Structure 1
Amino acid sequence: MTSTASVPETTLLRLAGWPYFVIAFVARLPFAMMVVGVLTVVVSSRDSLTLGGLTSAAVGVGTACFGPFLGAASDRFGQRIVLSILAVANATMLIVFTLVVYSTAVDALVLAAAFGIGATAPQVSPLSRSRLVTMITERMPQERRARTLSGTMAYESAADETVFVFGPFIVGILASFLAPWAPLVGAAALTLLFVGAFALHPSASYVSIERDAQGRAPSSVAELFRPGLLIVVLGIFGVGIFFGTMLTSLTAFMDVRGEPEQAGLLYGVMGVGSAVLALGVAWLPARFTLRARWITFAGILFGGALLLGTVETTGQMAMVLAIMGIGIGPTLVTQYSLGASRSPLGRSATVMTMLGSAIIVGQSLGAAVTGSLAEQYGVAAALTLPMIAAGIAFVAGIVNWFVRAHPRAHVA
């Protein structure tokens, strides 16, 4: 009698190992703590809400400006060396900023230090996506790649949203029970430990760095500007604007009702639903294509956003946020999946950091414009901006339906 040994099924969990997901999750926390932590310590030490807002924006601008270059460096030299340098550089900048803000240094130096925090921020989320996409496309059976990729993008988006809920919460605890500077010191420690561990994790070697004789990636930079990829960047930029405009206009909405501190809690109605439905995208049938998903879920988001013009009570606002949560999570997952599938060969990390930077730029721009509009023209005017942002994401989805991705732009 002959016996056949069962061959273990190749899964992403088996390829990466469960410690990877723990390390990658915690390694995202420092960035989620930085923006709120900077705001907290500046307001506390310099007694200026305006300067606090500007320093938070400076962190976002620094990340947006340097993110794609750090992604390109990861594609060129590998994630391990780039992330190891950034872990040390960013932890150092967090400590430097803390010392500067408590000194007698001029405000310009405070802003410069905040920009430095953003510029050296390790791009854990996009680099994790890039790393996992490479594992899926190069080491998994063809028949399971599509569903695994969809599930992975869903998990990554849900992880990002969860971190950005817990990050500010941790900042509040540390600032309240220890000192306003504690969140930044804590973020520096987490950066050294967990971003360093993420950089040194064996999965970093799974990222293929294919080069020509001169050491360059096989895909030219020009392939990053093909219509199929640019429309995804535009769509995700619209989602970023929506995040910034929605939270700021919601804060103004609750401020008029004398409960501005409840804005974050109410915003969570959309965030929780968004994260849950983002995870559910992995179980959608393959015949429900990415192009169709983008139009469908962005349409739900846009329809929900239009209802903001009719909202008068907190209860109505909660219902509208719940409706928009149905659309926002799956839209984001779909956009990241399309970005992954259209990444030029050897440029995966660059594309993921481009998409991440588009969200950050959109969020910062949306928050700044909405705050100014709310002060000058009131809440009703501010609530029109999330409608416009959702419209951008929806229209980009329609355009994407007619855009043909160039065959050379695919990873696999």
Structure 2
Amino acid sequence: MPNPYREIFKAPGAKGFAAAAFFARLPIAMAPIGIVAMLSQAYGEYWLAGAVSATFALTNAVVAPQISRAVDRIGQAKVLAPATIISVAAFLVLLAATNQRWPTWTLFASAFFAAAMPSIPAMVRARWTEIFRDRPELNTAFAFESAADELVYIAGASLSVGLSVSLFPEAGMLVSTLLLAFGSIAFILQRSTEPKIRPMEHGAQGSAIRQRPVQIITFVLIFIGATFATAEVSTVAITKALGHPDTASLVIGVYAAGSFIVGLIVGALNLTMPLQRQLAIAVSVIALTTLPLLMVTTVPMLALAIFVSGVAISPTFITAFGLIERRVPEAMLTEGVTWVMTGIGIGMALGSFVTGWVVDTFGAHNGFWVSVAAGTISLVTVLLGQRALGGERSRMPAVPQPAE
């Protein structure tokens, strides 16, 4: 039986843009938790770290879809280059402000402008779509990207925290900024696979967020993102309380082990169950596996509970983006994917802030109650949205072009 993942990488340029995109999007995971790790060590206050991280992520949640909409209309290279320059410059200011203890407002201001960081996962999915549009290989490509996203969120967070704890507070954010700069350059320079600008369709002139499936999936992934952030912040706090702060990156890293493997397996299978039901099952697993996190008392127990709670992450991503591809008009695909990705970012920002406050107020072990609440809300939302998530994307005729 041929390997479906090997087949998709036979397409010209696929290996190059996929590799560049992997490194360019690591900052999506590294930056929010990296800001928390950097500022909590430098200033000793989780609330400040969470607030600055939230400023970055929430602003990015608003700006990134607008960047993606411009990409759909102008092209990737023309939009990604200036957006990346602004983001990299702002991150460098944030690093300097932290290291030199500049006034607190400079932390928030630099985080605000750093939010110009574009959604690389949306850009790379647009390239896969350009290559495999209306072909079965597109589902395999999306499954690969979902597994890669999960690995980025978990491995990136682990790398960011590990560097900051092991070397110096700014180390994680410094590496994140360099990856954003050089990864984006490598991605932008690959012009042969850049998607063509497609004509708009009737019904596609507004924002993708007006589409009901986009609203539901984005809302669900806000709370899935909150479970990520809660696990990360609580792990840093608990391992520190237990006297083993150096194990934080290892514990966070075990998220990736089971989930990455399960995600690749699911992506290679030709499952016939409707995607909305697959999403409901995956989110149910995430919600149920938040409960053991409340009972951890040692680092090994924490690592095991974190491992179990991460198993369904990749399947959740795979089904969520599969639903977006099927239910959103083609002219809105990049923006639709971006809204879902920024939903994860919003959840991580809010999760970091709320969990930081809970940890500061009630103790390290109580932070996981945020995961329980977030998992429950995401599950209820998926169950209530089953009917709206069902069906296929409507094919709408292109807007007639005026005669020359």
Q: TM-score, normalised by structure 2?
A: 0.83
Aligned pairs for 1:50-69 (under 5 A) are 51-69=48-66
Partner residue of 2:400?
none
Kindly provide the CA deviation profile for residues 51-87 of structure 1, in whole angstroms up to 9, marking residues without a partner as x. 4444333322332231111111111211111111122
Distance (whole Å) between structure 2 residues aligned to residue 26 and residue 265 of structure 1: 20
Distance (whole Å) between structure 2 residues aligned to residue 339 and residue 35 of structure 1: 25
Contact 1:68–1:350, Cα closer than 8 Å, also in 2: yes
**Matched residue SS, 2:270:** coil
1:193 corresponds to which of 182, 187, 190 = 182
Is residue 321 from structure 1 mapped to residue 306 from structure 2 by the alignment?
Answer: yes
Partner residue of 2:401?
none
Partner residue of 1:109?
106
Distance 1:288 1:207, change over 3 A: farther
Contact 1:158–1:278, Cα closer than 8 Å, also in 2: no
Once the 2 structures are TM-superposed, how far is the Cα of residue 222 of structure 1 from its aligned partner? 5.6
Once the 2 structures are TM-superposed, how far is the Cα of residue 40 of structure 1 from its aligned partner? 6.2
Distance 1:411 1:352, change over 3 A: farther
Deviates more, 1:44-53 or 1:78-87: 44-53
Aligned residues: 392
Is residue 357 from structure 1 mapped to residue 342 from structure 2 by the alignment?
Answer: yes
Is residue 122 from structure 1 mapped to residue 115 from structure 2 by the alignment?
Answer: no
2:257 corresponds to which of 272, 275, 287 = 272
Once the 2 structures are TM-superposed, how far is the Cα of residue 239 of structure 1 from its aligned partner? 0.6
1:23 corresponds to which of 11, 14, 20 = 20
Kindly provide the CA deviation profile for residues 149-184 of structure 1, in whole angstroms up to 9, marking residues without a partner as x. 4344334433444344334445667x55xxx66665
> Structure 2: which amino acid aligns with 1:136?
F
Contact 1:24–1:128, Cα closer than 8 Å, also in 2: yes
Distance (whole Å) between structure 1 residues aligned to residue 37 and residue 153 of structure 2: 22
**Matched residue SS, 1:383:** helix
Aligned-pair Cα RMSD in Å: 3.3
Contact 2:129–2:138, Cα closer than 8 Å, also in 1: no
Partner residue of 2:147?
154
Partner residue of 1:332?
317
Partner residue of 1:403?
388
Kindly provide the CA deviation profile for residues 231-263 of structure 1, in whole angstroms up to 9, marking residues without a partner as x. 111111121111122222334443443334433
Distance (whole Å) between structure 1 residues aligned to residue 300 and residue 101 of structure 2: 47
2:129 corresponds to which of 133, 139, 160 = 133
Kindly provide the CA deviation profile for residues 88-132 of structure 1, in whole angstroms up to 9, marking residues without a partner as x. 2222223333444556753213320121112x2132122222322
Partner residue of 1:202?
191
Once the 2 structures are TM-superposed, how far is the Cα of residue 370 of structure 1 from its aligned partner? 1.7
**Matched residue SS, 2:311:** helix
Contact 2:34–2:160, Cα closer than 8 Å, also in 1: no
Distance (whole Å) between structure 2 residues aligned to residue 185 and residue 309 of structure 1: 33
Contact 1:42–1:101, Cα closer than 8 Å, also in 2: yes
**Matched residue SS, 2:121:** helix
Once the 2 structures are TM-superposed, how far is the Cα of residue 371 of structure 1 from its aligned partner? 2.1
Partner residue of 1:393?
378
Q: Which stretches of structure 1, 4 residues or longer, exceed 6 Å deviation after superposition?
A: 43-49
Distance 1:170 1:373, change over 3 A: closer
Distance 1:44 1:403, change over 3 A: closer
Deviates more, 1:127-136 or 1:50-59: 50-59
Contact 2:18–2:124, Cα closer than 8 Å, also in 1: no
**Matched residue SS, 1:272:** helix
> Structure 1: which amino acid aligns with 2:188?
A
Distance (whole Å) between structure 1 residues aligned to residue 380 and residue 174 of structure 2: 43
Kindly provide the CA deviation profile for residues 13-61 of structure 1, in whole angstroms up to 9, marking residues without a partner as x. 4143322222112222345454455556656777776644443333223
Distance 1:189 1:264, change over 3 A: closer
Contact 2:159–2:172, Cα closer than 8 Å, also in 1: no
Bigger-Rg structure (1/2):
1
Partner residue of 1:75?
72
Contact 1:24–1:198, Cα closer than 8 Å, also in 2: yes
Contact 1:136–1:149, Cα closer than 8 Å, also in 2: no
Once the 2 structures are TM-superposed, how far is the Cα of residue 298 of structure 1 from its aligned partner? 1.7
Q: Structure 1 unaligned runs (5+)?
A: 1-8
Partner residue of 1:93?
90
Distance (whole Å) between structure 2 residues aligned to residue 162 and residue 379 of structure 1: 22
Deviates more, 1:69-78 or 1:92-101: 92-101
Partner residue of 1:257?
242
Contact 1:129–1:156, Cα closer than 8 Å, also in 2: no
Distance (whole Å) between structure 1 residues aligned to residue 245 and residue 175 of structure 2: 27
Aligned-pair identity in percent equals 21
Distance 1:102 1:170, change over 3 A: closer
Distance (whole Å) between structure 2 residues aligned to residue 387 and residue 95 of structure 1: 36
**Matched residue SS, 2:83:** helix
Contact 1:297–1:326, Cα closer than 8 Å, also in 2: no
Distance 1:28 1:171, change over 3 A: farther
Q: Structure 2 unaligned runs (5+)?
A: 1-5, 398-404
